[in-house]
Amino acid sequence: MDSLQKLTYLLYSSSRLLIQQIQLQLQEFGLTYTQYLTLSVLWEEDGQYVNQIGQKLELDSGTLTPLLKKLEAQNYLRRVRSEEDERKVKVELTYPGKSLQNKVESVLTQFASELELMPESQLPKLNSSLSDLLSQLKSLD
């Protein structure tokens, strides 16, 4: 197996299994992995437009809209149409959506510590390498 094949296999297998394990942790909150990622984007910066969230998550509006509707039905966020431009929809966290952050992060922090992924000091380097890879792949389009 050459280097690229090994990298693609390791990335695919690791990410698939990691996402499955995170999904198990999120079940108690009634969240899917993609819903969690969406909320994470809003926890970083509340009050973003749908297209901004889509860009950050690499999701189109056809995928994102049903996901946002479901989170709205769970009372974690609300969607507000712009008065200036009806096509723009701003997404804001509700109080339950904001308060969910600490609960979810606590469970995932516990999971990460049990996983013992790698020494904490090495995570920034791994994150940086993966971010660089993502940037290079995006530039190929």
What CATH number should be reported for the domain holding residue 26? 1.10.10.10
Are the C-beta atoms of 50 and 61 separated by less than 8 Å? yes
Overall domain count for the chain: 1
Name beta bridge partners: 77.
93
Structural domain that includes position 120 = 3-139
Looking at residue 118, what is its pLDDT?
65
Q: Which two tokens stand for residue 11?
A: 């990335």
Task: Walk along the chain (141 residues) in steps of 10 and give the mean pLDDT of each run.
Answer: 87 92 95 97 97 94 94 97 89 98 94 76 81 87 72
* C-alpha neighbours within 13 Å on the C-beta side of residue 29: 26
Sheet holding 77-81, edge to edge: 48-49, 89-93, 77-81
Nearest in space to 20 (alpha carbons), one of 122, 93, 111: 111
Quote the CA–CA distance of 31 and 96 in Å, as a whole number: 13
- DSSP conformation letters of 72-135: HHTTSEEEEE-SS-TT-EEEEE-HHHHHHHHHHHHHHHHHHHHHT-S-GGGHHHHHHHHHHHHH
Angle formed by the axes of helices 61-73 and 50-57, nearest 10° = 110
Looking at residue 117, what is its pLDDT?
63
Are the C-beta atoms of 38 and 71 separated by less than 8 Å? yes
